Amino acid sequence: MEVTKAVIPAAGFGTRFLPVTKAQPKEMMPVLDKPTIQYVVEEAIAAGIEDILIITGRGKQAIERHFDKSYELEEALEAAGKTDRLNRVEEIADLGDIHYVRQKEREGLGDAVRYAEKHVGENPFALLLGDTIIESDTPCTQTLIEHAEAHDVSTLSLERVPWAQVSSYGVADADIDDDTDLTDESFPVSDFIEKPAREDAPSNLAITGRYIFTAEIFDALDATEKGVGGELQLTDAIRKLTDIRGVELTGDRYDIGTIPSWLRANIEMSLQYDDGEMNAAVEEFLQERFR
């Protein structure tokens, strides 16, 4: 298989972040000076993908505007000699070939993925959640693509989470011990359990928001009934796939869907920001605040 397309669902209501998400998409929440979904698009591009489909919905127009060319703004920045900001703005419109399709009703992540079928056809594709940033030396999607192409099967990025948190995630049933070194290896996964109680969890390997699917996922979604919350759950469809592998995530994952996790993304990423000013300012503030 060869993965050349990516799908980014970004149509959810973002209810956990209301009221800020009432009129602005959760995926446009800024982390430092970029909206979250720009990091996601950049990860796909860095993984070699040039064809991106974003699943949007009502009230999500800001996403399309962000990736569009902005002639008036560019002219104004140029006239003002603000070259640095001009370059940053111009880079955005050069980010690959971005297409959009609207999810008509918010019926869950699984339903959102179904809207990609016409665009991707029989091809395998990468799925990147629009509200999750993953920072790693090799883009997470690139690692996944390499493993998926090597085995010719759907492959998911999985992260070892603290056992106390397994009930917040979809968790993999894989024949793996707590201390097995998974670096550079992909491994077969026999099943997934959505949000298990600690004692029922088959592992602490949680789904992270990055996937490679073969077109088999669309048949699996068609054969899946609505589940928890009356939504079509992607995990329920994944369980129907005949063959699936996992890869352990090696980078830092920031799900920006709640206020604490969004704040954490901003603080941690500002400390790593390599401009010599922002990281120093944030570090100084934190040291003062917690002295």
Q: How far is the CB of 232 from ligand UTP (least distance, A)?
A: 8
Q: Where are the beta strands (DSSP E) in the chain?
A: 5-9, 30-31, 34-35, 51-56, 97-102, 125-128, 132-135, 154-160, 170-173, 186-188, 191-194, 205-213, 244-248, 252-255
CA gap 125, 140 in Å, rounded: 14
Q: How far is the CB of 8 from ligand UTP (least distance, A)?
A: 8
87-114: burial string, b at 16+ Cβ within 10 Å, e else? eeeeebeeeeebebbebeeebbbbbbbb
For residues 51 and 231, which CB has a smaller minimum distance to ligand UTP in the complex? 231
Closest residue to bound ligand UTP by CB: 12
For residues 52 and 109, which CB has a smaller minimum distance to ligand UTP in the complex? 109
Q: Using an 8 Å Cβ cutoff, are 68 and 76 in contact? A: no
> How far is the CA of 2 from the CAs of 34, 78, 97, 151, 202, in angstroms?
30, 41, 18, 11, 32
Q: Is 170 a residue that touches ligand UTP (CB under 6 A)? A: no
Helices (H), 121-258: 140-151, 216-222, 234-238
For residues 10 and 77, which CB has a smaller minimum distance to ligand UTP in the complex? 10
Q: Is 43 a residue that touches ligand UTP (CB under 6 A)? A: no
Q: Is 251 a residue that touches ligand UTP (CB under 6 A)? A: no
Stretch that binds ligand UTP, among 3-11, 74-82, 90-98, 172-180 (CB under 6 A): 3-11
Residues 82-141 that bind ligand UTP (CB under 6 A): 103, 106-109, 111-112, 129-131
Q: How far is the CB of 9 from ligand UTP (least distance, A)?
A: 3
Which listed residue (5, 7, 26, 120) binds ligand UTP by CB under 6 A?
26
For residues 9 and 246, which CB has a smaller minimum distance to ligand UTP in the complex? 9
Handedness of CA 16, 19, 23, 26 (dihedral sign): negative
Q: Is 9 a residue that touches ligand UTP (CB under 6 A)? A: yes
Q: Which helix (H) or strand (E) holds 270?
A: helix 259-272
Q: Is 58 a residue that touches ligand UTP (CB under 6 A)? A: no
For residues 153 and 207, which CB has a smaller minimum distance to ligand UTP in the complex? 207
Stretch that binds ligand UTP, among 11-19, 140-148, 176-184, 212-220 (CB under 6 A): 11-19
Q: Interface residues with ligand UTP (CB under 6 A)?
A: 9-16, 26-27, 55, 103, 106-109, 111-112, 129-131, 257
